[in-house]
């Protein structure tokens, strides 16, 4: 454990370090011993500044991006941070109020620009400047670090200085508006992501899978060579699904079309109607969830569709193929109303009020779907096709090209006690697309993560780290140098001790230092 000495204590209204840059590295107080083999930067990107003047940001995705760097070296740790100098940040600082509005906030100059912006490119031309504050996560393309948001823009950043090196517009390279903050990587560095494109005439959307080649030919390269691997037509083109990420196995990209829908017409007209954008986003539990499989090599969309009851899903754990099945492990909830529950007003509540809020939130659990890969004309209907040993998931062909799936819980009863599991992490480079045994995540008993969890899939047993009043963020697994076992290593997590919860970190990258 190391502590940042300047971290605020009782009495402070808000976390000072979260709202102010710390440009010069400060030292930290280390308790216990940090293994000397951990050398590198732990990079965090999360919303930092939530308030400019008197204007509040409502949605917890919406804070201005703050880049945090914890440099771990020889058992010592220094910390520094920097606001991403996005155009939105500059503008807000100058005027000291929010000039670029965001999801969920009404009575702003322009309520139509938001977190879900990539679904709205047709109106980019109608609205003046789109936001680029990039508060979502670090991603890597062609070996470079980008701070990605769900808008068209990404910032290429220097992981050492945390400075923005370049602002990159996706749409200059491919006709796709934005991409998720959770790409997938092949071992050679080929990157896959997803984004939408729009028909402007009658407001329709299609989903696209994007492929970015691994090699960087010029030093100034950004997304050159990116291409659309394939497109998928939404169940209803004027109401595409919201998606936060997707899954990838060795041969397939798996896209989950969930019944969190975006009514494009409502979204486009929200400004006229004086409504917040969140009005155009709705959870429709009457609709099923559809799993689409795309062949990574040919770009072909597999004609067989896999269905399950309505679920909402933000993060995938892993996906791998074995014995003719594709195991799809995701964090899912039966309730999709949650999106509007993350308003910052809720986070500002404390004590009993906060508990009350967390009760209303969806609980997210790890689940496995087993998808049979060779469903043909000859495959019998009406019977469970899952022949995997000791798996309780079911998959039943109900008609040509339609398979109905039911999940298996990837946890025991004890997980309920910790509020479910979100922000799943595995040892990605070694085990994504492969049979694996462990995953890590945060328990969400109190709206924000308040425990760190480790799941052992061998017997679905749970290991828990919990200390009252401490709020850990998404765990990152760092293997020990000569690790043989899958779980030989340490978990890094930024843990907050707030007097009032105002900050949620999301998405960490551990950037291993070169050399020993």
Contact residues: ligand NAG, CB under 6 A: 61-62, 88, 98, 100, 102-103, 113-115, 131, 133, 135-136, 149-151, 199, 201-202, 204, 236-239, 263, 427-430, 477, 479, 483, 488
Nearer Cβ to ligand NAG (21/487):
487
**Is 315 labelled a binding residue?**
yes
At 166, list the tokens: 């370049």
Shortest spacing between CB 14 and ligand NAG, in angstroms: 18
Shortest spacing between CB 472 and ligand NAG, in angstroms: 18
Shortest spacing between CB 382 and ligand NAG, in angstroms: 28
Q: How many CA atoms lie within 13 A of 30 on its CB side?
A: 17
**Cβ pair 63, 46 in contact under 8 A:** yes
Provide the sign of the torsion angle of the four alpha carbons 282, 287, 288, 293, taken in this order. Answer: negative
CA distance 267 to 205: 13
Shortest spacing between CB 211 and ligand NAG, in angstroms: 22
CA distance 153 to 133: 9
Q: Find where tokens 């997210």 sit.
A: 364
**Cβ pair 134, 46 in contact under 8 A:** no
Shortest spacing between CB 238 and ligand NAG, in angstroms: 5
Nearer Cβ to ligand NAG (103/314):
103
**Is 244 labelled a binding residue?**
yes
Query: 428: helix, coil or strand?
Result: helix
CA distance 216 to 219: 7
Shortest spacing between CB 178 and ligand NAG, in angstroms: 9
Q: How many CA atoms lie within 13 A of 482 on its CB side?
A: 0
Quote the DSSP letter at residue 68.
E
Shortest spacing between CB 151 and ligand NAG, in angstroms: 5
CA distance 506 to 474: 6
CA distance 313 to 332: 5
Shortest spacing between CB 132 and ligand NAG, in angstroms: 7
Contacts for 413 with CB less than 8 Å, ≥ 6 apart: none
**Is 506 labelled a binding residue?**
no
Shortest spacing between CB 429 and ligand NAG, in angstroms: 4
Nearer Cβ to ligand NAG (67/395):
67
Of 146, 126, 331, 133, the C-alpha closest to 247 is 331
Quote the DSSP letter at residue 10.
T
- Residue ranges of the alpha helices (H) in 43-158? 87-95
Number of Cβ atoms within 10 Å of the Cβ of 314:
22
Number of Cβ atoms within 10 Å of the Cβ of 352:
8
Shortest spacing between CB 100 and ligand NAG, in angstroms: 4
Shortest spacing between CB 376 and ligand NAG, in angstroms: 29
Q: Measured between alpha carbons, how far is residue 305 from residues 247, 293, 301, 322, 396 in Å?
A: 15, 8, 10, 19, 12
State the virtual CA torsion across 336, 280, 63, 477 in degrees, nearest 10.
30
DSSP 183-219: -EE-TT--EEEEEEEEETTTTEEEEEEEEE-S---ST
Q: How many CA atoms lie within 13 A of 269 on its CB side?
A: 6
Query: 298: helix, coil or strand?
Result: coil
Contacts for 113 with CB less than 8 Å, ≥ 6 apart: 100, 101, 102, 120, 127, 130, 131, 277
Binding site membership: which residues?
A: 182, 244, 315
Residues making up the annotated binding site for Fe cation are: 182, 244, 315
């Amino acid at each position: 454990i190391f502590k940042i000495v300047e971290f605020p204590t009782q009495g402070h209204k808000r976390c000072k370090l979260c709202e102010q840059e710390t440009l010069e590295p400060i030292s930290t107080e280390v308790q216990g011993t940090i293994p000397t083999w951990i050398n590198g930067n732990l990079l965090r990107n999360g919303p930092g500044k939530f308030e400019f003047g008197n204007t509040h940001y409502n949605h917890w995705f919406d804070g201005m991006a703050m880049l945090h760097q914890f440099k771990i070296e020889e058992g010592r740790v220094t910390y520094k941070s920097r606001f991403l100098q996005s155009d939105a940040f500059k503008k807000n600082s100058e005027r000291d109020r929010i000039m670029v509005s965001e999801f969920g906030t009404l009575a702003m100059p322009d309520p139509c620009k938001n977190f879900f912006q990539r679904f709205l490119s047709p109106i980019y031309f109608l609205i003046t400047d789109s936001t680029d504050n990039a508060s979502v996560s670090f991603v890597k393309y062609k070996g470079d670090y980008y701070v990605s948001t769900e808008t068209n823009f990404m910032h290429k950043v220097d992981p050492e200085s945390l400075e923005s090196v370049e602002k990159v517009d996706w749409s200059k390279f491919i006709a796709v508006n934005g991409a998720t903050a959770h790409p997938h990587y092949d071992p050679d560095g080929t990157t896959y992501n997803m984004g939408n494109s729009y028909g402007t005439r009658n407001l329709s959307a299609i989903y696209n899978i994007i492929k970015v080649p691994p090699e960087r030919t010029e030093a100034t390269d950004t997304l050159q060579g990116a291409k659309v691997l394939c497109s998928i037509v939404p169940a209803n083109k004027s109401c595409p699904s919201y998606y936060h990420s997707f899954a990838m196995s060795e041969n397939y990209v798996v896209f989950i079309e969930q019944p969190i829908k975006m009514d494009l017409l409502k979204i486009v007209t929200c400004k006229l109607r004086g409504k917040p954008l969140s009005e155009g986003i709705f959870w429709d539990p009457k609709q099923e969830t559809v799993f689409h499989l795309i062949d990574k090599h040919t770009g072909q969309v597999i004609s067989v569709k896999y269905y399950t009851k309505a679920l909402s899903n933000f993060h995938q754990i892993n996906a791998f193929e074995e014995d003719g099945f594709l195991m799809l492990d995701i964090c899912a909830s039966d309730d999709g109303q949650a999106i509007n529950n993350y308003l910052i007003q809720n986070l500002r509540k404390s004590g009993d009020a906060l508990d009350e809020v967390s009760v209303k939130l969806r609980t997210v659990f790890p689940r496995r779907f087993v998808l049979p890969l060779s469903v043909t004309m000859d495959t019998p209907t009406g019977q469970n096709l899952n022949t995997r040993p000791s798996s309780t998931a079911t998959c039943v062909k109900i008609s040509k090209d339609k398979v109905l799936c039911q999940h298996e819980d990837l946890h025991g009863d004890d997980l309920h006690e910790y509020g479910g599991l979100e922000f799943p992490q595995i040892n990605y480079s070694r085990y994504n697309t492969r049979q694996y045994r462990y995953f890590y995540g945060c328990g969400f008993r109190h709206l924000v993560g308040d425990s760190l969890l480790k799941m052992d899939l061998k017997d679905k047993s749970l290991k828990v780290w919990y200390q009252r009043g401490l709020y850990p963020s998404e765990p990152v697994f760092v293997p020990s140098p000569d690790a043989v076992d899958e779980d030989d290593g340490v978990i890094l997590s930024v843990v907050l001790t707030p007097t009032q919860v105002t900050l949620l970190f999301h998405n960490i990258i551990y950037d291993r230092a070169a050399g020993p």
